[in-house]
Amino acid sequence: MPTPEESFCCREVEKLKKYFIRGYTCITQVEELLQLISEEKILANSYRNLGQVTDKQLQKVRRSMRRDAYRNFTSWTHGSLGPGNRIPEPSCVVNLIRGKYPDPDGNYMGFRKEPDTAEDISNS
């Protein structure tokens, strides 16, 4: 990850420690998490296969899916943080989500403390 703030292991997250007691070595091995971030991929592939989404539109869909997957992980782990409250995700989770919903050009925003601006949202 590009910054020290983003470069940490899931094993450092207090609220995830219950999974490591159960024998998992990484949160990305937990089926519940995999289902939480993967179900949307099925929908995107369905749209593409039906010809309803162009490659350019699919890029925007994937960006939205990455954002939704990060939000799902955060609420699954920490509960609702409330509007504008953000925390970085463990590197393994970021890599998993980027792997499932890749940007073809490899352009990723990284963690931002401040909320998305209207311009960011319109470019999503």
Check whether 82 has a pLDDT greater than 80.
Answer: yes
Question: Residue 26: its pLDDT value, please?
Answer: 93
Contact 4, 65 (CB under 8 A): no
**Section 96-105 average pLDDT:** 89
**Section 110-119 average pLDDT:** 66
Cα–Cα separations (whole angstroms), residue 77 to 18, 96, 119: 11, 16, 29
φ/ψ bin of 79: left (φ > 0), alpha (ψ from -120 to 50), beta (otherwise)? left
Question: Residue 7: its pLDDT value, please?
Answer: 86
Contact 110, 3 (CB under 8 A): yes
More confident call, 114 vs 44: 114
CA distance 107 to 116: 16
Tokens of 93: 């989770």
DSSP run (H or E) holding 108: none
Least-confidence region, from 34-38, 69-73, 86-90, 105-109: 34-38
**Section 80-96 average pLDDT:** 88
Tokens of 95: 């890599």
**Section 86-103 average pLDDT:** 90
Q: How many helices (H) and strands (E) does the chain have?
A: 5, 0
Domain boundaries along the sequence of the chain: 4-123
